[in-house]
Amino acid sequence: MGTPRERFLSELRAKLHCQGRGRRDVLDELEQHILDAVEAGEDERAVVGRIGDVALLARALNAEVARDRTERRLIALTAVVSAALVATALPLSVRQHSHLWAWSASMPGTAATAPAIALSAANAAGVDTNSLREVVAGRTARGSSAVLAGRDASGRVCFTYTADTAVASLYRCVESGDPAKAVLLFASRGGATSQSVVWTSVSGVARADVAGLKLRRSDGGERDLSLNPWRGFTYYADSLAAMPRQLVAYAANGRELGEFDFDGANSRRGQVR
């Protein structure tokens, strides 16, 4: 049967979902707790009893491991989607489209308190942290997301995407007259596994010649996304039917400026017309 400590650790070991080093760390830490208490003169059985219900403890520890995995996946997916967008740059003539990434004010957005991770990313990218402003705020399953704008030493406006203060994408910089992108798009997703995404949050900022954005959903429905005064937009879905399938950008005369295929994001294959 073993000692109370051995029985406790055996039961905890059986209920933990994590593997490898994480599992060993949790078990070592709880064993250390019991041994420290016994060394301090406490009765082992009482110490084990005071730790509480093993099933509840294992459930809480498993939940923390799951949250950690989700956050790590968010970082990876955000990087994938923003990289995919760069690959889907819309080719237009520079001569025909000057000042497309300019705003009436010197910087788009409203004053914002950037999360620490966005400040670190700004320092790494040479973006002035004092210039950071919030262009659009969105939501995620766990909280909020935001597209932030800042200015780098060359005077370019650069954008980053943050989610739940734990994720910040690399800064993407645009220049006045940069014809490369009709829409700068960021996304984060979450789910129990990488194959079962249960929510998606999409946010971005559009070029000055984009007059409208239409989002096509996985159930075939369509939704017009409104642009705020800084041409920011956001969309959130937490049902399979509402998951974004495609984003299409239109000019004021109805001409299609480009489209982004979300199904292709994971394989880095956006489609552009």
Partner 1 sequence: MRGGEALKGHLDMLLLAAVEAGAAHGYAISAHLRSSSEGVFDLADGTIYPALHRLERGGYIKGRWTATGGRRRKTYALTKKGERLLSSQRRDWDAFQRGVRAVLSRAS
Which residues form the interface with partner 1 (CB under 8 A)? 25-26, 28-30, 32-33, 35-37, 40, 47, 50-53, 56-57, 60-61, 63-64, 67-68, 71, 116, 166
CB of residue 83 to partner 1, shortest distance in Å = 25
CB of residue 141 to partner 1, shortest distance in Å = 17
* Residue placing its CB nearer to partner 1 in the complex, 55 or 241: 55
* Residue placing its CB nearer to partner 1 in the complex, 71 or 238: 71
d(CA 232, CA 91): 21
CB of residue 226 to partner 1, shortest distance in Å = 34
CB of residue 203 to partner 1, shortest distance in Å = 23
CB of residue 161 to partner 1, shortest distance in Å = 19
Beta-carbon contacts of 48 under 8 Å, excluding residues fewer than 6 positions away, are 4, 5, 7, 8, 34
What is the DSSP track for 128-192? -GGG-EEEEEEE-SSSEEEEEEEEBTTS-EEEEEEETTTEEPPPEEE-TT--S-SEEEEEEEEEE
Nearest to 186 by CA among 209, 171, 203: 203
Task: Please classify residue 247 by burial: count the beta carbons closer than 10 Å to its beta carbon, then call 0-12 exposed, 13-18 middle and 19+ buried.
Answer: buried
Beta bridge partners of 136: 147
* Residue placing its CB nearer to partner 1 in the complex, 26 or 85: 26
d(CA 147, CA 159): 7
* Residue placing its CB nearer to partner 1 in the complex, 76 or 241: 76
* Residue placing its CB nearer to partner 1 in the complex, 31 or 175: 31
CB of residue 16 to partner 1, shortest distance in Å = 12
* Residue placing its CB nearer to partner 1 in the complex, 52 or 221: 52
